[in-house]
Chain A
């Protein structure tokens, strides 16, 4: 692994946003110190590194903090431009398309998934599910455009959008299991190219390194659900 020049990643293993940064670092072959924090009791390091949002991930490079997952991923790509692969193409139009889809994933896919799984009412959840599948259909179209379904959003090799979506995989898998509705997010019938992409992506060394284990994510989600239920039960007594 290439020397990471004093890179520290402040995060929590389960966060899909932290996983994005780990993916970028792994794909670039950069070594870093992983600093796992407790979000229920935020450390001085986290609070001083991200005073505005007090959230993870934060990347510290030579002590300088960078926040917001996709801002960090772009930073890694630019600060380590000599280290391949390049996560963003050098061609401006391709870069703009990648930025468009990365923004789309954050604005539309993540929000609709959250609504689908954690909506307050059945109506909320059902609206979320509808929007989630619309977003996935659009991403299917984007994948077809970029590699005709044979490779990645980045073309022949992984890129910016692959990292953005790939970071969500374990989190989405756990949400799917926990919802108990039998809804398959990456449905090979609805979005065959995307379904194939998830398999292909997970096989990459960088993905194997960075993605949390599916079973661990489900266990983590179950624990959180049990904790939340306990809080409700206690308040009802």
Chain B
């Protein structure tokens, strides 16, 4: 297969961003890579060397060269394996700009909101963040409604689907952990239908973080965040 060479992915089994990269590789039919699970609370030499700036996952190492930042990695995969599988970003520059805009929105507004649900110090703060999460999902519902297709990218999954879709298991985990409704099928029926549909695609096979794994990881992050808040 074109460009496969030596491919390694430094990952974490709870990480939405690692899942996103694995979904991109799935879309391209790239399966023969070495997946190396990282302990994010006890970082390996390889991780620290490969991503010295952030020391985070995912990191894709292709023929010895590391690439970090999930969106940069996804676009890299799309470009290197351009003739394989299906395209991830559309060909049209305007459509690409729209997809990138909503990707930025998702990783800013949706992510911050639901992470806020996890690290909220009070019930009031949590309620605020739940509201923010629901609002972000409403906005994405409108995008889907506007497009009128099965997926954000059209008739099959693409960039924005995996950008948004990788967050779904975290939303589910937090709904359970905190007894809140983040993805309300009554309020956002189109989004809910898309989420169900997305969960059935080939792109997500075998790469979606388990809710329990997310919960365990998130609890540790929450403890960290609250300890940091108490220091200030």
Binding site for B on A (CB under 8 A): 52, 61, 64, 66-68, 71-72, 74-75, 78-79, 92-93, 95-97, 99-100, 103-104, 138
List 23 interface pairs A-B (beta carbons < 8 Å), by A numbering.
Answer: A52-B105, A61-B94, A66-B98, A68-B100, A68-B101, A68-B104, A71-B101, A71-B104, A75-B97, A78-B96, A92-B80, A93-B62, A93-B67, A93-B76, A95-B75, A95-B76, A96-B67, A96-B73, A96-B75, A100-B67, A100-B68, A100-B72, A104-B53
Residue in contact with A71 in the complex, picked from B62, B79, B97, CB distance below 8 Å: B97
For B96, the closest partner residue in chain A by CB is: A78
For B81, the closest partner residue in chain A by CB is: A92
Main SS of chain B's interface residues? helix
Binding site for A on B (CB under 8 A): 53, 62, 65, 67-69, 71-73, 75-76, 79-80, 93-94, 96-98, 100-101, 104-105, 139
Please determine whether A100 and B69 come into contact, CB atoms closer than 8 angstroms.
yes
Known: A96-B72, A103-B71. A72 touches B80 (CB 8 A): no
Known: A95-B76, A96-B67. A72 touches B97 (CB 8 A): yes
Residues of the A chain whose Cβ atoms lie less than 8 Å from the Cβ of B105: 52
Min Cβ gap B111→A in Å is 12
A112–B79 Cα gap in the complex (Å)? 32
Min Cβ gap A16→B in Å is 17
A195–B67 Cα gap in the complex (Å)? 27
How many inter-chain contacts with C-beta < 8 Å in the A-B complex? 59
Please determine whether B53 and A138 come into contact, CB atoms closer than 8 angstroms.
yes
Please determine whether A66 and B101 come into contact, CB atoms closer than 8 angstroms.
yes
A79–B98 Cα gap in the complex (Å)? 13
For A62, the closest partner residue in chain B by CB is: B94
Please determine whether A74 and B100 come into contact, CB atoms closer than 8 angstroms.
yes
Identify which of B68, B71, B79, B101 gathers the most chain A CB atoms within 10 Å of its CB: B101
Residues of the B chain whose Cβ atoms lie less than 8 Å from the Cβ of A67: 101
Please determine whether A92 and B97 come into contact, CB atoms closer than 8 angstroms.
no
Residues of the A chain whose Cβ atoms lie less than 8 Å from the Cβ of B80: 92
Known: A66-B101, A68-B104. A74 touches B96 (CB 8 A): yes
Residue in contact with B139 in the complex, picked from A52, A66, A100, A138, CB distance below 8 Å: A52
